[in-house]
Amino acid sequence: MLKIYADENMPYVQQFFAGFGQVQLVDGRNLTPAQVADADVLLVRSVTKVNAELLSQNNRLKFVGTATIGVDHIDKTYLQNRGVTFTSAPGCNAQSVVEYVLSSLFLLSEQQQKPLQQWTIGVVGVGQIGARLVKALQALQVKVLQCDPLRKAKEPDFPHVPFADLMQQVDGLSFHVPLVKTGEHPTFQLLNSNNLSELPPDVAIINASRGEVTCNQALLLEAQGRAQSSETAGTQRPLVLDVWDNEPSVLKALVPYCRIATAHIAGHSIEGKARGTEMLYQALCQLLKIQPQHQLYDFCPKPVMEMLQISANFRLSDVQSLCRMLYDVRRDDALFRYHLNGNGFDWLRKHYPPRREFSSLRLTAPKGAIPEYLTQLGFSSQ
């Protein structure tokens, strides 16, 4: 029987992994070497740094899994040198993050009284999440420019627009890159005090990737400068921040300048979080050469809304209302502002209220004619 240590915020981990042995839930952010000294399996999220220090007292570890897309918190070289199998969960919460960005864009569009179809969105980082966002925006007939030098290097036909050029051509920037501090294309402070001054003042910034990608101090200084200037007072750059420098120690002075501020929950739909657990379960089954016995929908609760009939009068302009039935980002913004100073950042993440993805709602129509753009957004149909 294996000894399995898992982040307490990983959904359905007991149900998926109990068959392998004893599952012990732990506080991932404050995990110590002594706690995992006898671990055979370690299951974490992005708040746990898995490295030589954490595993200094362990000599029996076989498997490490992170239920996240990003892996900057994992010392993969160290694990490889120790012969420890490692897996992540690429794409597990991609749809959830896309729905967060769409909800944010719907809100900004409404505030500016400018239909989203008149926007040009720059997607920075076109991997698992970025590519899905591009597809969703194009389904909504939104013009999209893509920035991903790594994909351009591998795919000559990829329509890459360099970041400096992209900044001058868009109404909004949405970041979906991993945190990379070295190499030819670092993303650490990709948006900083130098190039932020080159970004037109009305261009919206959405960051649902890693906090250090957009320098929070630079954003704050710009916002404060605009507020103090007689020429720009009352006109703030639209900011949507789900991720922050130095989490969980949020730069609180920046929060009042954000249109949307949330606690790193863009990917926290029920499906998004649980899909990561399922992917780690499948990887451990493969390592142990065991046939999987469980799947995600064995454990997901019944959705509050299972089916909705739309009429032949449904139009692209109605998508916003449909999406908001399932998720309205303003809920999470309100929770963040209310609880940040009291209960705090990690409490918000741990007590995040249930949220279902578009796929949980099955759409029907009198003659079965569901618009293709709805299925491209992720809604289920008959």
Catalytic residue set = 210, 247, 264
Residue type, 159: P
CA dist 7 → 139, 350, 369 (Å): 37, 11, 44
CA dist 376 → 140, 163, 356, 370 (Å): 9, 27, 17, 11
Give the relative orientation of helices 94-112 and 329-339 as an angle to the nearest 10 degrees.
90
First-to-last alpha carbon distance for the chain, in angstroms, is: 43
Provide the token pair at 380.
């289920």
Torsion of CA 112, 113, 114, 115, to 10 degrees: 130
Q: Is 344 helix (H, G, I), strand (E, B) or coil?
A: coil
**Cα separation, 328 vs 321, whole angstroms:** 10
**Cα separation, 194 vs 75, whole angstroms:** 31
Strands (E), 190-247: 204-207, 239-241
Residue 330 near residue 257, CB atoms below 8 Å: no
Provide the token pair at 164.
């400096």
Instruction: With CA atoms as reference, report the closest residue to 268 among 350, 186, 342.
Output: 350
CA 274 to chain centre: 14
